[in-house]
Amino acid sequence: MDRSKENGRARNAGAWLRREVLPLAVMLLLLGTARASFANHYHVPSGSMQPTLQAGDRVVVDMSAYGLRVPFTRHVLVERGRPQRGDVVVFASPRDGTRLIKRVVAVAGDRVELYDGRLSINGLPLADADGGEAERFGARVARLDLADGGGPDIPGVVVPPGHVLVLGDHRGDSVDGRWFGFVEADALYARAVAVYWRRGEGPGWQRL
């Protein structure tokens, strides 16, 4: 075999790999890193967050809301903020690892009581004064679905350091912190920003 021809084919193959395959691989790596570290989307699987989120909603989530992390890890490179009461967050269930979306209702040090689906934090009821089915987390208002009751009560617990308590807005039909306990704050890997697609309505932008 003509060794010069063989070497030429090898050089051509190497040049093709550098010209065509390498840029594609870099682009895919960058896209994967961006999705893991900055922005992504989430498909809502159930009605546990009704009426805020409906089953089938597609939600934009900010992967860096609580810090810029090494992709696919919990190691924070740059701190950006901490979970706040009222945030809608994505995390893995401490019980079985299922990806969930719920609302942070209490942070470390808060004393929580929940009766008939209505919250009190540090002795202050969050519901509107008229007893309506809405709770105020500062400027953020969470509408509740109590059509199936309030679910299990919380007689009074204090959120431990480094943790949060998450609940669904559909209080009578949500597997949440009442079932699997507190969630580590560092385990929250995204904050939901807005619904960008709702089944039956199509595209839109409903901030959360």
46, 102, 120, 174: which one is catalytic? Answer: 102
48, 64, 93, 120: which one is catalytic? Answer: 48
Residue 37 phi, psi dihedral angles, 5° rounding: -110, -25
Radius of gyration, CA atoms only, the chain: 23
102 among known catalytic residues: yes
5 among known catalytic residues: no
Query: Whole-angstrom Cα distance, residue 165 to residue 181?
Result: 7
Active-site residue list: 48, 102
